[in-house]
């Protein structure tokens, strides 16, 4: 079946979710390496090499993880479509009853629900049962490729913030500027995730900043301990 090229809101949000998650992970893993390695050595070249290596590893890991998980979801959706196609061919009355029950559960009378189901079964039976029973829009499946690229790009872009701050700052200010860059980056990620998810921006920003600072403290403590 040919896929509709116009993205649904769910497809767009899937790519956005992967991007936000990738960005946050990229920021925190890179800054974690910077501070844990920095606690063990003062050699700036060693710290930068470790951070760059982690940035690439994190971006690729996030992309591969997103691809695998979203592929599984997409495969499940396609299996559901195939199963409902078979039901329509073998037992259309059962499908009509499912559609009718969907509307009854939403407060429509049985007589009206049956009439709606009959009409929809004549016009678009497969589309209707998928929407009613699984909230799937026929021809639209979450894209593992889009999620992977979104996560890859966002993880790399997010990790660049602390990396560039560490690289460009004068030696006495390297760690304070890295902390500042991390706070700004995770704050922006929190704001973006809240806006896209219609959440609470202030709470999301504070939560991300607190988690970022905790991450820095933990990695610095680990590096100092070892």
- Is residue 35 within 8 A of residue 223, CB to CB? The reply is yes
Q: What is the reported pLDDT for 91? A: 93
Q: What is the reported pLDDT for 144? A: 82
In 106-224 the beta strands, taken as DSSP E runs, fall at none
CA angle 102, 107, 108 (to 5 degrees): 75
Would you give per-residue pLDDT tens digits along the chain (226 residues)?
Answer: 444 445 555 555 666 666 677 788 888 888 888 888 887 788 888 988 999 998 999 889 888 988 888 888 888 888 888 999 999 999 999 999 999 999 999 898 999 999 999 999 999 999 999 888 888 877 766 678 877 888 888 888 888 999 999 888 888 888 899 889 989 998 988 888 777 767 788 888 898 899 888 877 886 776 666 6
Q: Which element (helix H / strand E) includes 143?
A: none
Taking Cα atoms as reference points, which of 79, 120, 86 lies closest to residue 103? 120
Q: What is the DSSP string of 10-68?
A: HHHHHHHHHHHHHHHHHHHHHHHHHHHHHHH---HHHHHHHHHHHHHHHHHHHHHHHHH
């Amino acid at each position: 079946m040919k896929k509709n090229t116009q993205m649904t809101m769910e497809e767009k949000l899937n790519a956005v979710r992967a991007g936000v998650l990738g960005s946050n992970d990229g920021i925190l893993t890179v800054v974690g390496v910077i501070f844990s390695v920095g606690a063990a050595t003062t050699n700036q070249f060693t710290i930068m090499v470790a951070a760059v290596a982690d940035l690439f590893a994190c971006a690729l890991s996030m992309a591969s993880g997103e691809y695998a998980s979203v592929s599984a979801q997409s495969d499940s959706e396609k299996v559901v479509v195939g199963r409902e196609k078979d039901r329509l061919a073998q037992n259309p009355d059962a499908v009509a009853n499912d559609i009718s029950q969907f509307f009854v559960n939403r407060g429509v009378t049985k007589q009206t629900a049956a009439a709606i189901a009959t009409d929809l079964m004549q016009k678009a039976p497969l589309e209707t049962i998928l929407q009613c029973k699984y909230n799937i829009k026929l021809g639209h499946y979450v894209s593992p490729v889009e999620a992977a690229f979104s996560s890859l790009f966002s993880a790399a872009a997010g990790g660049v913030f602390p990396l560039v701050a560490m690289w460009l700052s004068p030696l006495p200010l390297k760690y304070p500027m890295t902390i500042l860059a991390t706070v700004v980056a995770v704050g922006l990620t929190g704001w973006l995730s809240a806006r896209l998810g219609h959440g609470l921006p202030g709470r999301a920003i504070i939560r991300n900043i607190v988690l970022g600072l905790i991450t820095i403290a933990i990695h610095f403590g680990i590096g100092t301990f070892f």
